[in-house]
């Protein structure tokens, strides 16, 4: 067959992914998101379990992936909000000296902190009982069997959170508030030497008083079921927390546009090219909006035609830059109580 005859045909490689998807059905992650959306439609008035995140960590974020042992500082700045995390040290029971621990990272670190915040707010105290609630949380929300390797991975992130010094800074209504402290203090973070031994949680976890006071004033409620269904992606969790904190603050008749460069500056860690980031962000945002279905956002996905511009006496054809996101006033995923 000639090239001319081939011109109107679509290559098999272009439609193969779609065919495979239609045959195999939704992926495990997609099905989990669909089930969550259906659950909300069928049970709109059902009481929801609530997690909490500090507003600074809704506007900034921890590392998506392990930045490596050599990384001892993590810093994010977003407008008038500043997060700085300093990796810490802990006393080793066998070496008899302080040893460095890495920075907290990934979905589990975010979700563990949300759970600790939840327990502190529910129990109304900075010193909280966690021995039994953490195992239930790992099973219910992280959907992991609460034993062996899974528990060690979760406890490692808890250890990193406990050792790190976290500085939170925010300017609000003309006042600057700074919190310099460890979030979690005083508990045994080490694992048993024998992997067959049970990994024990500490009986209590103590929040620093500075963090506790700041959390009471700046806690953002998040739907625990939504968080569980987004637990595969640190980026999706960060987008969800950001929108939960941001959308209800948008003035009712004054939508806000956030450019792609601004979004890249806030969420684009690890993405050198903005087009690669934009593709990943759109996938994660679609997952978030499947669950947070009252969020009103214009993603400007339509492609505008190229335009001719004059540059240095020559005419060039350019494709207009994509705008970003337009945010409209929307109810939060969890109404404040």
Per-residue pLDDT tens digits of the chain, which is 337 residues long: 444 444 455 554 555 455 555 566 778 888 888 888 888 888 877 778 899 999 999 999 999 999 998 999 999 999 889 999 999 887 776 777 888 889 999 999 999 899 999 999 999 999 887 766 777 777 777 766 655 667 778 878 888 888 898 888 888 778 888 888 777 765 555 554 545 544 445 567 788 888 899 999 999 999 999 999 999 999 999 999 999 999 999 999 999 999 999 999 999 998 999 889 999 999 999 999 999 999 999 987 555 666 666 666 676 656 556 688 999 999 999 976 5
Both tokens assigned to 250? 């948008």
pLDDT of residue 6: 47
pLDDT of residue 141: 72
Strand, coil or helix: 203: coil
pLDDT of residue 95: 77
pLDDT of residue 29: 87
Q: How far apart are CA 234 and CA 62, in angstroms?
A: 9
Q: What is the dihedral of CA 135, 167, 238, 146, to 10 degrees?
A: -10
Q: Is the pTM of the predicted complex or chain greater than 0.85?
A: no
| 284 burial via Cβ count (<10 Å: 0-12, 13-18, 19+) | buried
Both tokens assigned to 261? 């460069």
| 251 burial via Cβ count (<10 Å: 0-12, 13-18, 19+) | exposed
Contact 277, 271 (CB under 8 A): yes
pLDDT of residue 174: 80
Contact 281, 309 (CB under 8 A): no
DSSP per residue, 281-315: HHHHHHHHHHHSTT--EE---SPPPPEEEEETTEE
Q: How far apart are CA 300 and CA 323, in angstroms?
A: 7
pLDDT of residue 335: 77
Contact 232, 264 (CB under 8 A): no
Q: How far apart are CA 300 and CA 260, in angstroms?
A: 11
pLDDT of residue 183: 76
Write the CB contacts of 310 (distance below 8 Å, at least 6 apart in sequence): 316
Write the CB contacts of 206 (distance below 8 Å, at least 6 apart in sequence): 126, 127, 128, 184, 185, 186, 187
Q: How far apart are CA 88 and CA 102, in angstroms?
A: 7
DSSP per residue, 242-284: HHHHHGGGS-TT--EEEEHHHHHHHH-TT-SSHHHHHHHHHHH
pLDDT of residue 255: 94
Using alpha carbons, select from 162, 167, 168, 164 the residue that is nearest to residue 56. Answer: 168
pLDDT of residue 139: 76
Q: How far apart are CA 271 and CA 253, in angstroms?
A: 34
Angle at CA of residue 281, ends 62 and 43, nearest 5°: 90
């Amino acid at each position: 067959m000639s090239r001319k005859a081939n011109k109107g045909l679509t290559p098999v490689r272009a439609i193969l992914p779609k065919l495979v998807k239609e045959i195999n059905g939704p992926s495990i992650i997609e099905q989990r998101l669909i089930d969550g959306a259906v659950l909300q439609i069928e049970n709109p008035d059902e009481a929801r379990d609530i997690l909490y995140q500090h507003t600074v960590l809704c506007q900034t974020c921890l590392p998506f992936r392990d930045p490596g042992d050599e990384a001892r500082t993590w810093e994010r700045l977003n407008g008038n909000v500043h997060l700085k995390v300093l990796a810490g040290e802990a006393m080793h029971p066998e070496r008899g000296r302080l040893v460095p621990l890495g920075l907290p990272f990934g979905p589990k670190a975010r979700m563990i902190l949300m759970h600790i915040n939840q327990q502190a707010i529910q129990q109304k105290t900075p010193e909280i009982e966690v021995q039994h609630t953490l195992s239930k949380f790992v099973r219910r929300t992280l959907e992991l069997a609460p034993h062996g390797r899974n528990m060690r991975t979760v406890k490692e992130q808890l250890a990193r959170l406990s050792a790190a010094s976290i500085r939170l800074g925010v300017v609000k209504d003309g006042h600057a508030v700074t919190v310099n402290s460890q979030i979690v203090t005083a508990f045994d973070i080490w694992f048993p030497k024998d992997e067959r031994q049970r990994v024990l949680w500490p009986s209590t976890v103590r929040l620093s008083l500075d963090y506790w006071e700041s959390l009471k004033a700046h806690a953002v409620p998040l739907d625990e079921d939504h968080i569980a269904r987004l637990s595969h992606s640190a980026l999706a969790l960060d987008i969800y927390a950001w929108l939960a904190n941001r959308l209800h603050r948008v003035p009712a008749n004054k939508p806000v546009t956030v450019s792609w460069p601004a979004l890249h500056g806030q969420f684009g860690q690890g993405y050198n090219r903005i087009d690669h980031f934009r593709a990943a962000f759109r996938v994660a945002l679609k997952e978030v909006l499947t669950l947070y279905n009252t969020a009103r956002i214009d993603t400007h996905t339509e492609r505008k035609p190229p335009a001719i511009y004059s540059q240095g006496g020559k005419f060039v054809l350019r494709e207009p830059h994509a705008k970003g996101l337009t945010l409209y006033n929307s109810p939060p995923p969890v109404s404040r109580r």
